[in-house]
Amino acid sequence: MVATLRKSLKTIEDYKSANPHYTELLDIMADILILREEYRNNMKDPIFSVEENLITQKMEGGLPLIDFTGKEYNLTRPKEYFNSLISIAEKRMPEVAQNIIDIIKNDEFDWEKMIRASFDHKVEETDAQGLLAGREAEENIDLIDLFTEESLRPELEIIAEKYRETVEKSNWSEGYCPICGKEPKIGEIRDEEEGKRYLFCHQCGFKWHFHRIKCPFCGNEEQHSLAYFEVEDEERYRVDVCNKCRRYIKTVELSKSSEEPNLDVEDIATLHLDMIAYDEGYN
């Protein structure tokens, strides 16, 4: 893990040089990766558990291993981690951090409710953001979303690693994560595996194989309504879009010689692609 962390931090420094516009956010991601590693090193037993006798039935039924909408979990430890993440913003972006602190101190802000809403596909993003009272700027929302998601990452990452092989053998074919149920924001296509497509879950760090020509959000397989766009001089990246549900997902195209990318970092380094997708009417 130390070698992987070192490589990710090196990648961040390279991206900062290539695109200084993202320096602050990349610095925050670097701090998050370091703090995540510390959390994992100090973690004893994960707060989440899997009913192993139900794994086969869950995978066949399209149900993730961890049920956030139907079970109660003690989230004391992740909440403490969330507060530590806020301290990163205080160091890197003090003015924005103060706005965030004002938001989370508001009596109407319910961190645990926001956590649960983020796993409920029936809850629209605008409804989930509505749980944030007194928000003043969109970047506050983005950072709170990032920290809220990250607050569960170390705990869920352990589960993802433990059951990786079991899930891979199950032929999971859904567009949401088989570990925690979250929808992906980014994926990758690998040339050395005949262009196989993988989706990545920021919530738990799990990566799973998914059909190349299919929308992960609505299941659309009609080629005439599926498309993608690229940005000049950035052929490594593309944005896959569905003109049926108007959703999109970013994709990193990897050559045979490419090393395993850190898709958390790649997501930050490609925020301009999100902006282009939004401008084109995708979400």
Residue 137 scores a pLDDT above 70: no
Section 90-117 average pLDDT: 88
Segment 248-271, tens digit of pLDDT: 999 999 986 678 899 999 999 999
Q: Where are the beta strands (DSSP E) in the chain?
A: 186-190, 196-200, 207-210, 226-229, 237-242, 248-254
> Which residues of the chain are in CATH 3.90.1670.10 domains?
173-279
Task: Give residue 134's pLDDT.
Answer: 41
Burial class (CB in 10 A: 0-12, 13-18, 19+), 73: middle
CATH of region 173-279, choose from 3.90.1670.10, 3.40.640.10, 3.40.50.300, 3.30.450.20 = 3.90.1670.10
The whole-angstrom separation of Cα 213 and Cα 27 is 35
Residue 179 dihedral angles phi and psi, to the nearest 5°: -85, -55
CA distance 60 to 131: 34
Instruction: Quote the pLDDT of residue 265.
Output: 96
Question: Above 70 in pLDDT, residue 128?
Answer: no
C-alpha atoms less than 13 angstroms from C-alpha of 104 in its C-beta half-sphere: 21
Do you know the residue count of the chain? 283
Query: What pLDDT was estimated at residue 133?
Result: 42
pLDDT of 131 > 90? The answer is no
Cβ within 8 Å of residue 232, ≥6 positions away: none
Q: Can you say whether the dihedral through the CA atoms of 154, 156, 159, 164 is positive or negative?
A: negative
Q: Please, what is the end-to-end C-alpha distance for the chain in angstroms?
A: 34
- Indicate the average pLDDT of the chain: 90
Q: Which residues pair with 228 in a beta bridge?
A: 240
Burial class (CB in 10 A: 0-12, 13-18, 19+), 179: buried
Instruction: Provide the token pair at 181.
Output: 């149920």
Each residue's pLDDT tens digit, 186-223: 999 987 667 899 999 999 999 999 999 999 999 999 99
- Backbone Cα Rg of the chain: 19
Nearest to 31 by CA among 270, 205, 268: 268
Q: CA 116 to CA 69: how far, in whole Å?
A: 6
Digit-coded pLDDT (tens) for 7-63: 999 999 999 999 899 999 999 999 999 999 999 999 988 899 999 999 999 999 999
Q: What is the pTM of this model?
A: 0.91
